[in-house]
Amino acid sequence: MQKELISFTLNGEIIEVYADPAISLLHLLRNELGLTGTKEGCGEGECGACTVLLDGRAVNSCLVPAGKVKSRSVLTIEGLARGDQYHPLQEAFVEKGAVQCGFCTPGMIMSAYSLLQEKPDPTGHEIKTAISGNLCRCSGYKQIEEAVLDAAEKLKRKGKSS
Amino acid sequence: MSYQVVTNLEQALAALKNAAEKSRIIAGGTDLFLEKLPENLLDVSSLAEALVIEERGSNLLIGAAVTHARAAASPLLCKKARALTEACAQVGSPQVRNIGTLGGNVINAAPAADAAVALAALGAKAELLDCSGNTRIVELEELYAGFNCSAIDSCQELLLRFMVHSGGPGSGSAFTRLAARKALALPMANAAAWLRVENNCLWEVRLVVAPVKPAPTRLFKTEALLAGKPLTAESWREAAQAAMEEVEVRGSLLRCSADYRRHLVGVLVGRVLETAAGRALTGKGEA
């Protein structure tokens, strides 16, 4: 397809980019906009490495045509930190050893972020369901679950103190 | 050479007409995007008229652009179309459920698409519109032309919504599936049932299993056998046996052998009938 003007909100800022609307949101982010935090794993919606939030809901950016995001809101892993301050989920993943090779991590964190937006106090089962579309091939999911629980706790405490 | 997003029906039909069959309708896109995309796309995932979930008279209207996640979380559907919410909660992964639509699940025409199997058990009819606004109402099972091949030409017709009976007193429904994993796996087999109970006996039953034929497959013989039966373990065993004899299944190198799938159909049929009957009795899962 020919390039079109695609205007949407990316990590809180309205942007305009000329791009082929038939490429994936994943390639729009990585190749056209230089946001390489979002990873390409399988490229067919099976692994979750490319997870971003579209209007607040976790989606596989490899399965979303760029044309679909016109006038909508996209949040990527780059949009979580506030300046030098990492998001509690990012800190918890580091502290709990939930990162090994790190390739699945941005997608895992975006799925977890989506969960915590909806359910600030998730059960273990809810965490497992929320990350069921994200594959980690290094070892397992235990530390990842612990990191999500830890971040939920920190966010709750932060919410109470502010 | 375009990607057009439409938000109301008037816009959608005008766009369809202007495109003169050269534009293909896309909704969630999770299946379509894996194929080579057509040149011109008409995105109906924000089409207001296809996003409804409501009860009108004795019918539930469920928009074709409703996502699996939204259907699974709908209080109305959880109360009145339990088989559908159970099916929608098990499609793909959270990411796929957040964007993949019920209409897409049917038009993609995979033989064991979970939502389609549940919709068939609930007796769903589909409302289709052509670019002049002419409407036709079709039984869900008639929307299939072959394995993974829809009878709907998405360059000509728009699937707007599904209509499902909202059940009524004494009815209940259920869906179940078995797959190699709990997420991101197509089912080896799935089953859905809708039934109505009177005086502790089965009065009406719709029983659907897949993958058997291209479309979700009603088990008419097993349904007939169940008419008038009491709600007992013996009835479910008989139904399971009858279902195994009624289906002609194929094996799949990827998922399971034909023998295993046949056995599984029996097990799943027994389970959905028992669960649906339990819901019909307690009234909790009305349809």
Secondary structure in 3-state letters for B162-220: EEEECCCCCEEEEEEEECCCCCCCCCCEEEEEEEEEECCEEEEEEEEEECCCCCCEECH
Residue A58: predicted pLDDT? 98
Report the complex ipTM: 0.96
Cα–Cα distance, B47 to B216 (Å, whole number) = 27
- Whether the pLDDT of residue B286 is over 70: the answer is no
Q: Rg (Cα) of chain B, in Å, rounded?
A: 19
* B94 contacts A58? CB cut-off 8 A: yes
- Whether the pLDDT of residue B93 is over 50: the answer is yes
**Would you place residue B20 in the very low, low, confident or very high pLDDT band (cuts 50, 70, 90)?**
confident
Identical fold for domains A4-79 and A88-161, yes or no, is no
- The ranges assigned to domains in chain A are 4-79, 88-161
- Whether the pLDDT of residue B287 is over 60: the answer is no
**Which chain A positions have a beta carbon within 8 Å of B3's beta carbon?**
1, 4, 21-22, 65-68
- Fold classification of A4-79 is Ubiquitin-like (UB roll) (3.10.20)
Q: Summarize pLDDT for A49-90 with one digit per residue, the tens.
A: 999 999 999 999 999 999 999 999 999 999 999 999 999 999
pLDDT average, residue stretch A22-46: 97
Q: Is B92 on the interface with A (CB under 8 A)?
A: yes
Taken in order of first residue, the domains within chain B and their CATH numbers are: 2-165 (3.30.465.10), 171-282 (3.30.390.50)
Give the count of alpha carbons within 13 A of B224, CB side only: 4
B40-43 vs B23-26, strand pairing mode:
parallel
CB A51 within 8 A of CB A58: yes
Residue B285: predicted pLDDT? 46
Top-level class of domain A88-161:
mainly alpha
Look at residues A110, A71, A118 and name the one whose alpha carbon lies nearest to residue A93.
A110
pTM for this entry = 0.96
Residue A53: predicted pLDDT? 98
Residues in A lying within 8 Å of B, measured between beta carbons? 1-2, 4, 21-22, 24, 44-46, 48, 51, 54, 57-60, 63-68, 70-71, 111, 114, 129-130, 132-133, 135
Q: Summarize pLDDT for B186-210 with one digit per residue, the tens.
A: 999 999 999 999 999 999 999 999 9
Q: Which residue of B has its CA nearest to A53?
A: B95
Cα–Cα distance, A150 to A83 (Å, whole number) = 22
Q: What is the mean pLDDT of chain B?
A: 95
- DSSP tally for chain A: helices H, then strands E: 5, 5
Cα–Cα distance, A157 to A136 (Å, whole number) = 29
